[in-house]
Amino acid sequence: MKLILTLVAAAMAFAQREPARFTADVRLVRLLVNVKNSKGELVGSLEKDQFAVFDDNVRQEIKVFERYTTTPLSVAILVDTSGSTRIDWQTEVRSITKFLKALFSQGNPLDEASLFTFNYDVTQQSGFTRNAKLLEDRLKYVRPEGGTSLYDAIYHAARNLQGRQGRRVMVLVSDGGNTTSSKQYAEAREAAQRADAVMYPIIVVPIRNDAGRNLGGEHALQQLAADTGGRWFSATLEELDQTFAEILSDLRAQYMIAYYPTDARPGFHQVRVELNRPDLRAATRTGYYGEDPR
């Protein structure tokens, strides 16, 4: 009985204490930055003090700085498999396979890729893996047909990337059209920004003139690339291999810059990176979503 009374008294005393308060550090914002000179050549030899980072126009203190960062990559490959891609499908598969083999052979041994295909629906053909042969086999057995759920594919791939550690990248191969998505452009863009994913859309065009091309869809992809700090490409089938090689060069020459924002409010923050040399240009995402602390 005495033991029971002692336990009850201890419980009452514990309940009367002031509740414990836990504080979490503000979110570290990571920026992947590519720098090019006036000739369009990548510049990877800059020092930390040559960069200035602004969050909602307020200069921030850079806490992490890495040149040629080898932080592991998570690359989501999004491939348009609508009916319009049928004729050139095998050529696209060969180029994508070459890209994957180069990705896994040249970088961090923890780099991985996932595969999404999209037509009237979005299918995740594979989760994250380093098995290029598996990804190639999944592509080989796809039969292009139907419409193009472009924004749905971006949305779902971004959500899949969101929990991944390290650098997050989306490489999208399409003719630029969007015909059957349930998601809107703004939803796809927000999902990509919340995932901190850098987008590299490749718009495959059979010819260089504008006849028959979906210019509205192309412009949307161009804006997505700019907003996420990536690049967009317009490539013929003959240019696909070189296009993938350029994307790999970008990924291997990235700076990693990170800071703790002085204002950690929730909602969208605008970001810009400036350099102390007028002949250089920095490319990074235009902003990020601050987390709601609740």
User: For residue 144, which phi and psi values (nearest 5 degrees)?
Assistant: -60, 135
239 found inside a domain? yes
186 found inside a domain? yes
Q: Which domain holds residue 229?
A: 73-252
234 found inside a domain? yes
Closest alpha carbon to 242 in 107, 95, 57, 59: 95
- The CATH number linked to 166 is 3.40.50.410
Token pair of 176 as six digits: 């630029």
8 found inside a domain? no
User: For residue 240, which phi and psi values (nearest 5 degrees)?
Assistant: -60, -45
Report pLDDT for 207.
Answer: 53
Q: Quick: pLDDT tens for 18-72.
A: 333 333 345 899 999 999 999 999 999 999 999 999 999 999 999 999 999 999 9
d(CA 90, CA 135): 14
2 found inside a domain? no
Report pLDDT for 1.
Answer: 45
pLDDT (mean) for 84-109: 93
Structural domain count of the chain: 1
d(CA 277, CA 37): 10
204 found inside a domain? yes
Place of tokens 């932080």: 71
Mean pLDDT of the chain: 88
Q: Quick: pLDDT tens for 74-89.
A: 999 999 999 988 888 9
7 found inside a domain? no
d(CA 202, CA 231): 9
Q: Does the pLDDT of residue 9 top 50, yes or no?
A: no
Q: Quick: pLDDT tens for 11-24.
A: 444 344 433 333 33
Whether pTM > 0.95 for this model: the answer is no
Q: Does the pLDDT of residue 214 top 90, yes or no?
A: no
50 found inside a domain? no
Report pLDDT for 205.
Answer: 84
d(CA 40, CA 29): 27
The answer to whether the beta carbons of residues 288 and 26 sit under 8 Å apart is no
The alpha helices in the chain, defined as continuous H runs, are 2-16, 89-106, 132-140, 150-161, 185-194, 215-228, 240-252
Q: Does the pLDDT of residue 212 top 90, yes or no?
A: no
